[in-house]
Structure 1
Protein backbone atom coordinates (compact mmCIF):
# COMPACT_ATOMS: atom_id res chain seq x y z
CA UNK A 1 0.00 0.00 0.00
CA UNK A 2 1.29 3.47 -0.86
CA UNK A 3 2.13 5.82 1.99
CA UNK A 4 1.18 9.49 1.86
CA UNK A 5 3.14 11.96 4.00
CA UNK A 6 1.65 15.42 4.51
CA UNK A 7 1.54 17.97 7.32
CA UNK A 8 3.71 15.77 9.54
CA UNK A 9 1.44 12.72 9.20
CA UNK A 10 1.99 9.48 7.29
CA UNK A 11 -0.87 7.18 6.36
CA UNK A 12 -1.61 4.33 3.96
CA UNK A 13 -4.01 4.40 1.03
CA UNK A 14 -5.05 2.05 -1.73
CA UNK A 15 -3.10 2.20 -5.00
CA UNK A 16 -4.98 4.53 -7.34
CA UNK A 17 -6.74 6.39 -4.51
CA UNK A 18 -7.78 9.99 -5.14
CA UNK A 19 -5.29 12.25 -3.35
CA UNK A 20 -7.87 14.90 -2.33
CA UNK A 21 -10.07 12.30 -0.69
CA UNK A 22 -7.13 10.62 1.06
CA UNK A 23 -5.87 13.93 2.48
CA UNK A 24 -9.29 15.06 3.70
CA UNK A 25 -10.12 11.65 5.20
CA UNK A 26 -6.91 11.83 7.22
CA UNK A 27 -7.49 15.31 8.63
CA UNK A 28 -5.12 17.22 6.36
CA UNK A 29 -6.05 20.89 5.97
CA UNK A 30 -5.93 20.97 2.15
CA UNK A 31 -7.54 24.37 1.55
CA UNK A 32 -6.22 27.85 2.38
CA UNK A 33 -8.47 30.48 3.96
CA UNK A 34 -11.95 30.84 2.50
CA UNK A 35 -11.25 28.20 -0.15
CA UNK A 36 -12.30 25.74 2.59
CA UNK A 37 -15.84 26.98 1.93
CA UNK A 38 -15.60 27.99 -1.72
CA UNK A 39 -14.14 25.16 -3.79
CA UNK A 40 -15.41 22.86 -6.54
CA UNK A 41 -15.56 19.80 -4.23
CA UNK A 42 -13.24 17.76 -6.42
CA UNK A 43 -14.37 18.26 -10.01
CA UNK A 44 -11.15 20.02 -11.03
CA UNK A 45 -12.46 23.45 -11.96
CA UNK A 46 -11.38 25.77 -9.13
CA UNK A 47 -7.71 24.89 -8.61
CA UNK A 48 -7.72 25.49 -4.83
CA UNK A 49 -6.38 22.01 -4.00
CA UNK A 50 -3.07 22.60 -5.80
CA UNK A 51 -0.15 20.87 -4.06
CA UNK A 52 3.43 19.89 -4.81
CA UNK A 53 3.98 16.13 -4.90
CA UNK A 54 7.15 14.06 -4.72
CA UNK A 55 6.63 10.46 -5.82
CA UNK A 56 4.69 8.54 -8.45
CA UNK A 57 1.15 9.64 -9.23
CA UNK A 58 -1.13 9.43 -12.23
CA UNK A 59 -0.32 11.62 -15.22
CA UNK A 60 -1.98 15.03 -15.16
CA UNK A 61 -5.33 14.79 -16.96
CA UNK A 62 -6.82 17.52 -19.15
CA UNK A 63 -8.70 19.14 -16.25
CA UNK A 64 -5.55 19.37 -14.16
CA UNK A 65 -3.44 20.73 -17.03
CA UNK A 66 -6.12 23.18 -18.17
CA UNK A 67 -6.86 24.66 -14.73
CA UNK A 68 -3.18 25.02 -13.86
CA UNK A 69 -2.54 26.81 -17.18
CA UNK A 70 -4.91 29.64 -16.14
CA UNK A 71 -4.14 32.47 -13.71
CA UNK A 72 -3.34 32.67 -10.92
CA UNK A 73 -1.67 29.31 -11.56
CA UNK A 74 1.26 28.89 -13.90
CA UNK A 75 1.84 25.69 -15.86
CA UNK A 76 5.60 25.94 -15.27
CA UNK A 77 5.16 25.32 -11.51
CA UNK A 78 5.53 21.78 -10.21
CA UNK A 79 2.00 21.66 -8.78
CA UNK A 80 -0.90 19.26 -9.23
CA UNK A 81 -4.58 19.38 -8.36
CA UNK A 82 -5.09 16.87 -5.55
CA UNK A 83 -8.64 16.20 -6.75
CA UNK A 84 -7.40 15.02 -10.15
CA UNK A 85 -4.45 12.97 -8.89
CA UNK A 86 -4.27 9.25 -8.15
CA UNK A 87 -1.64 7.96 -5.70
CA UNK A 88 0.51 5.24 -7.28
CA UNK A 89 3.39 4.94 -4.80
CA UNK A 90 4.73 6.51 -1.61
CA UNK A 91 4.41 10.28 -1.96
CA UNK A 92 5.21 13.44 -0.03
CA UNK A 93 2.91 16.44 -0.31
CA UNK A 94 3.59 20.16 0.22
CA UNK A 95 0.98 22.97 0.30
CA UNK A 96 1.76 26.61 -0.57
CA UNK A 97 0.03 29.85 0.38
CA UNK A 98 -2.44 31.86 -1.69
CA UNK A 99 -6.15 31.22 -2.12
CA UNK A 100 -5.45 28.65 -4.83
CA UNK A 101 -2.25 27.31 -3.26
CA UNK A 102 -0.28 29.07 -5.99
CA UNK A 103 2.00 31.09 -3.68
CA UNK A 104 5.69 30.70 -2.98
CA UNK A 105 5.61 30.25 0.81
CA UNK A 106 5.00 26.80 2.29
CA UNK A 107 1.88 26.49 4.44
CA UNK A 108 2.82 22.93 5.36
CA UNK A 109 5.26 20.32 4.13
CA UNK A 110 5.50 16.54 4.38
CA UNK A 111 7.32 16.62 7.71
CA UNK A 112 6.67 18.81 10.72
CA UNK A 113 9.42 21.41 10.76
CA UNK A 114 10.73 22.78 13.97
Structure 2
Protein backbone atom coordinates (compact mmCIF):
# COMPACT_ATOMS: atom_id res chain seq x y z
CA UNK A 1 0.00 0.00 0.00
CA UNK A 2 1.31 3.42 -0.85
CA UNK A 3 0.55 6.70 0.91
CA UNK A 4 0.66 7.76 4.52
CA UNK A 5 -2.44 5.92 5.81
CA UNK A 6 -2.42 2.74 7.86
CA UNK A 7 -2.43 -0.61 6.06
CA UNK A 8 -5.14 -1.93 8.41
CA UNK A 9 -7.40 -0.55 11.12
CA UNK A 10 -8.79 -2.43 14.12
CA UNK A 11 -12.38 -3.66 13.97
CA UNK A 12 -13.77 -5.11 17.20
CA UNK A 13 -16.90 -7.24 16.82
CA UNK A 14 -19.06 -8.04 19.84
CA UNK A 15 -21.42 -11.01 19.54
CA UNK A 16 -23.04 -11.71 22.90
CA UNK A 17 -20.17 -12.63 25.21
CA UNK A 18 -17.78 -13.20 22.28
CA UNK A 19 -15.31 -10.53 21.20
CA UNK A 20 -13.43 -10.79 17.90
CA UNK A 21 -10.57 -8.49 16.89
CA UNK A 22 -10.06 -8.02 13.15
CA UNK A 23 -7.54 -6.05 11.10
CA UNK A 24 -9.36 -4.48 8.14
CA UNK A 25 -8.07 -2.49 5.19
CA UNK A 26 -9.31 1.12 5.34
CA UNK A 27 -12.09 1.76 2.84
CA UNK A 28 -13.61 -1.73 3.19
CA UNK A 29 -17.35 -2.18 3.40
CA UNK A 30 -18.32 -3.27 6.93
CA UNK A 31 -20.79 -5.96 5.76
CA UNK A 32 -18.20 -7.55 3.48
CA UNK A 33 -15.51 -7.43 6.17
CA UNK A 34 -17.83 -9.17 8.64
CA UNK A 35 -18.87 -11.88 6.18
CA UNK A 36 -15.28 -12.55 5.08
CA UNK A 37 -14.36 -13.06 8.75
CA UNK A 38 -17.20 -15.57 9.18
CA UNK A 39 -19.31 -13.15 11.25
CA UNK A 40 -22.83 -12.64 9.94
CA UNK A 41 -24.82 -9.43 10.46
CA UNK A 42 -27.94 -11.38 9.41
CA UNK A 43 -30.61 -13.30 11.28
CA UNK A 44 -30.91 -17.00 10.47
CA UNK A 45 -33.87 -16.34 8.16
CA UNK A 46 -32.06 -13.64 6.16
CA UNK A 47 -28.61 -15.18 5.69
CA UNK A 48 -29.73 -16.40 2.26
CA UNK A 49 -32.61 -14.03 1.61
CA UNK A 50 -31.19 -10.52 1.54
CA UNK A 51 -30.47 -7.79 -1.00
CA UNK A 52 -26.74 -8.57 -1.23
CA UNK A 53 -25.57 -5.30 0.30
CA UNK A 54 -27.58 -2.80 -1.73
CA UNK A 55 -29.23 -1.14 1.28
CA UNK A 56 -32.73 -2.26 0.30
CA UNK A 57 -33.76 -4.99 2.75
CA UNK A 58 -32.50 -3.56 6.09
CA UNK A 59 -31.50 -7.02 7.40
CA UNK A 60 -27.74 -6.47 7.94
CA UNK A 61 -28.09 -4.06 10.86
CA UNK A 62 -25.43 -3.79 13.55
CA UNK A 63 -24.96 -1.44 16.47
CA UNK A 64 -21.92 0.77 16.00
CA UNK A 65 -20.49 1.44 19.46
CA UNK A 66 -17.45 3.32 18.13
CA UNK A 67 -16.96 4.40 14.57
CA UNK A 68 -17.99 6.79 11.84
CA UNK A 69 -20.93 9.15 12.06
CA UNK A 70 -23.88 8.16 9.85
CA UNK A 71 -23.66 9.53 6.30
CA UNK A 72 -26.33 7.70 4.27
CA UNK A 73 -29.89 9.06 4.83
CA UNK A 74 -31.14 5.67 6.04
CA UNK A 75 -28.14 5.36 8.34
CA UNK A 76 -28.83 8.80 9.87
CA UNK A 77 -32.49 7.93 10.53
CA UNK A 78 -31.63 4.55 12.06
CA UNK A 79 -29.08 6.18 14.36
CA UNK A 80 -31.47 8.97 15.32
CA UNK A 81 -34.31 6.62 16.28
CA UNK A 82 -32.21 3.89 17.92
CA UNK A 83 -32.34 1.24 15.21
CA UNK A 84 -29.28 -0.74 14.07
CA UNK A 85 -27.27 0.80 11.24
CA UNK A 86 -26.98 -1.09 7.96
CA UNK A 87 -23.53 -2.66 7.77
CA UNK A 88 -23.75 -2.56 3.96
CA UNK A 89 -23.83 1.25 4.09
CA UNK A 90 -20.84 1.72 6.42
CA UNK A 91 -17.21 2.08 5.35
CA UNK A 92 -14.44 1.06 7.74
CA UNK A 93 -12.11 4.05 7.62
CA UNK A 94 -10.80 3.96 11.17
CA UNK A 95 -10.98 1.96 14.40
CA UNK A 96 -14.48 0.63 15.01
CA UNK A 97 -16.41 -1.39 17.56
CA UNK A 98 -19.63 -2.99 16.34
CA UNK A 99 -22.14 -5.26 18.02
CA UNK A 100 -24.03 -7.95 16.15
CA UNK A 101 -27.75 -7.71 16.90
CA UNK A 102 -30.03 -10.53 18.03
CA UNK A 103 -33.02 -10.36 15.69
CA UNK A 104 -35.70 -12.51 14.15
CA UNK A 105 -35.54 -10.79 10.76
CA UNK A 106 -34.85 -7.07 11.20
CA UNK A 107 -33.01 -5.32 14.01
CA UNK A 108 -34.87 -4.02 17.01
CA UNK A 109 -34.82 -0.58 18.54
CA UNK A 110 -32.26 0.21 21.18
CA UNK A 111 -33.53 -0.08 24.73
CA UNK A 112 -33.50 3.16 26.74
CA UNK A 113 -30.40 3.51 28.92
CA UNK A 114 -32.56 2.97 32.03
CA UNK A 115 -33.48 -0.55 30.84
CA UNK A 116 -29.94 -1.69 30.01
Q: Which of the two has greater strand per residue? A: 2
Number of paired residues? 99
Q: Deviations over 1:9-67 (max 9, x none)?
A: 1111111210000000001022112111111110001000111012222633135346x
Which structure 1 segments of 5+ residues have no match? 69-73, 106-114
1:101 partner SS: coil
TM-score (norm 2): 0.72
Larger radius of gyration: 2
Q: Any runs of at least 4 consecutive aligned residues in structure 1 with deviations exceeding 6 A, and if so which?
A: none
Q: How does 1:1-114 map to 2 (within 5 A)?
A: 1-6=8-13, 7=15, 8-57=19-68, 59-65=70-76, 68=78, 75-77=80-82, 79-98=84-103, 99-102=105-108
TM-score (norm 1): 0.73
RMSD, aligned CA: 2.3
